[in-house]
Amino acid sequence: MSRLDSFIRRLQAQRGCIDLAVDRVAALPGPVFELGLGNGRTYDHLRERCEGREIFVFERKVAAHPDCVPDAEHLFEGSLEETLEAVLPRFRDAVALVHADFGSGRPEQDARLSAFIAARLPQLLKAGGIVASDQNVGWPGAEALDLPPGVKPGRYFLFRKA
């Protein structure tokens, strides 16, 4: 498979998983977390799909398209380990949806960050909250959800807090 085809499949999987997660939490109040802004495409999609919800973005260093950068009240800039840890008291058991796209292609780094995030998700998510991630951030007690049709296992991950 060409790199272009692989990229297209990754984006289709990402959109399908985000859309499924958004639909599943439609009746669940609470904010949305976007872990990793990148160029802002998924943040822009979440703004469209989650109209009326607050979306908080966590990004090491913002380099997104200017139209896809949240205001200062909704942006936590810096290392994810520091910023996510700092907001735990404010958002404990309150978040309805987390989208995490932080894979770097470096397995050791991705595994370390995945473990860090997985340990905080049960504290942040409210009961019934969902995480969609490009990395396996499952935690003990997390309910793994079926992926949308056409998304191969391991390409994206969906979990719900029981």
Domains (range + CATH), the chain: 3-160 (3.40.50.150)
Residue pointed to by tokens 């949806």:
97
- pLDDT at residue number 29: 97
pTM for the full predicted model? 0.95
Bridge partners (DSSP) listed for residue 156: 153
- Going by pLDDT thresholds of 50, 70 and 90, the confidence category of residue 1 is confident
The H-or-E segment that residue 47 falls in is helix 41-49
Could you give the C-alpha distances from 151 to 17, 57, 65, 84, 157, in angstroms and in order? 8, 25, 28, 29, 10
Q: What residues contact residue 23 under an 8 Å CB cut-off, 6+ apart?
A: none
- pLDDT at residue number 12: 95
75-106 pLDDT tens trace: 999 999 999 999 999 999 999 999 999 888 88
30-79 pLDDT tens trace: 999 999 999 999 999 999 999 999 999 999 999 899 999 999 999 999 99
Q: Mean pLDDT over all residues of the chain?
A: 95
How distant is the alpha carbon of residue 128 from its chain centre?
15
Q: What residues contact residue 61 under an 8 Å CB cut-off, 6+ apart?
A: 77
Over range 99-122, report the average pLDDT.
93
Instruction: Characterize 125-155 residue by residue with b for buried, 16 or more Cβ atoms within 10 angstroms of its Cβ, and e for exposed.
Output: bbeebbbbbbbebbbeebeebebbeebeeeb
- pLDDT at residue number 103: 83
Candidates 137, 141, 133; CA nearest to 112 is: 137
DSSP per-residue string spanning 107-132 = HHHHHHHHHHHHHHHHHHEEEEEEEE
User: What does the angle CA 29 – CA 33 – CA 36 come to, to the nearest 5 degrees?
Assistant: 165
